[in-house]
Amino acid sequence: MAEYCMKEYNHFLKGLTSLYDEQKGRYVSHYLDGSDYKPTKKNTVQALFPILVPDIPQKHKDSIV
């Protein structure tokens, strides 16, 4: 079970870190518009949630805080 959970966590972490926008220095939420995912234009509280994940890169944490 531990192996399965770690595999799922690593999959989640990979997906989460792919949402980081280097130019903006923050995580950007996306929404489904038809068959395409598009980034949101407004800042939301969701941009803060990644700091709760212990394994995101430190530079991401620094840019959020």
Residue bearing tokens 């926008």: 21
At 24, list the tokens: 């903006």
- Tell me which residue of 62, 48, 63 sits closest to 16, measured CA to CA: 48
pTM of the model: 0.75
Burial class (CB in 10 A: 0-12, 13-18, 19+), 17: middle
Q: Residue 52: what pLDDT? A: 92
Q: Supply the pLDDT for residue 45.
A: 78
User: What distance in Å separates the CA atoms of residue 54 and residue 17, rounded to the nearest whole number?
Assistant: 12
What is the chain's pLDDT, residue by residue, as a tens digit (65 residues)?
Answer: 999 999 999 999 999 999 999 998 889 888 899 999 888 887 777 788 899 999 999 999 998 88
The confidence score (pLDDT) of residue 16 equals 92
Residue 56: closest CA among 19, 8, 23, 28: 19
